[in-house]
């Protein structure tokens, strides 16, 4: 009962803080949509090109938008010792990381389900492909969230260069991008196989993220 009270308190707090910083959240999606518009203007009014590269553009921009939310994940709670407070309430660092993963996915990834159709229209992506993007985003977004979480916790060990965190996200996302972007161009059999690989990657990151991030937090606190 005690642990559930602490977990629900953390969820509520994350929701309140995100709601109070709604402009931060909006700036991520405005960045995403503006970047799509810039792509439209820079490539020109060639519908066929967009039909070919539209999915790739959307996924690249999802990735870049995610790096914007990176610093928010642990840094504030680390700086004001709240991570210690959460831990002293009886929650292990692993559980704290799992709560963070869920809240980031809910608050920073779910809204992409609204902006993806808008960007797909702007980029002239076929309706069939929009459904595939949704499916790939459903599997790909938890992976990106886990990678962002690992990167955010690694940043606690690095007081000078925050760009390294963004680089880590990009490097680890390459396999995900290869499989999700390719989903729209392959036959159903190959797509099924790729979805299974993506699910495998997703469960792999589900397994390692809490422990990797918790270790980084503990090391960060030791060196604070």
- In this chain, which stretch among 7-15, 51-59, 63-71, 170-178 interacts with another protein, using CB under 8 A? 7-15
Spatial CB neighbours of 67, under 8 Å, sequence gap ≥ 6: 148, 165, 166, 169, 170
Token couple for 209: 């993220």
Spatial CB neighbours of 133, under 8 Å, sequence gap ≥ 6: 55, 58, 116, 120, 125, 184
Q: How far is the CB of 160 from another protein (least distance, A)?
A: 16
Chain-centroid distance, C-alpha 17: 18
Token couple for 134: 């949704």
Please give the torsion angle defined by the CA atoms of residues 115, 119, 124 and 125, in that order, rounded to the nearest 10 degrees.
Answer: -50
CA 120, CA 137: separation in Å to the nearest integer?
13
- Residue 71 found at the interface with another protein (CB under 8 A): no
Token couple for 30: 């405005």
Interface mask (CB under 8 A) for another protein, residues 12-31, using x and -?
Answer: xx--xx--xx----------
- Residue 9 found at the interface with another protein (CB under 8 A): yes
- Residue 112 found at the interface with another protein (CB under 8 A): no
- In this chain, which stretch among 77-85, 110-118, 145-153, 156-164 interacts with another protein, using CB under 8 A? 77-85
Nearer to another protein, 43 or 84 (CB): 84
- Residue 160 found at the interface with another protein (CB under 8 A): no
Binding interface with another protein (CB under 8 A): 1-2, 5-6, 8-10, 12-13, 16-17, 20-21, 79-82, 84-90, 221-222
């Amino acid at each position: 009962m005690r642990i559930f009270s602490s977990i629900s308190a953390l969820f509520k707090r994350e929701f309140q803080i995100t709601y109070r910083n709604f402009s931060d959240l909006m700036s991520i999606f405005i960045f995403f949509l503006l970047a799509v518009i810039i792509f439209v203007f820079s490539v020109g009014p060639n519908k066929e090109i967009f039909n070919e590269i539209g999915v790739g553009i959307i996924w690249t921009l999802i990735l870049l938008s995610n790096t914007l939310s990176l610093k928010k994940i642990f840094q504030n709670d680390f700086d004001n010792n709240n991570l210690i407070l959460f831990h002293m309430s009886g929650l292990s660092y692993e559980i704290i990381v799992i709560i963070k993963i869920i809240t980031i996915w809910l608050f920073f990834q779910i809204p992409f389900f609204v902006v993806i159709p808008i960007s797909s229209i702007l980029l002239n992506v076929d309706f069939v492909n929009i459904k595939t993007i949704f499916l790939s985003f459903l599997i790909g977004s938890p992976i990106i969230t886990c990678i962002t979480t690992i990167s955010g916790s690694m940043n606690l060990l690095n007081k000078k260069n925050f760009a390294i965190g963004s680089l880590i996200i990009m490097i680890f996302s390459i396999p995900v991008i290869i499989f999700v972007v390719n989903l729209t161009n392959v036959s159903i059999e190959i797509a099924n196989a790729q979805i299974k690989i993506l699910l495998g990657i997703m469960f792999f990151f589900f397994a390692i993220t809490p422990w990797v991030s918790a270790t980084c937090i503990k090391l960060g606190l030791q060196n604070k």
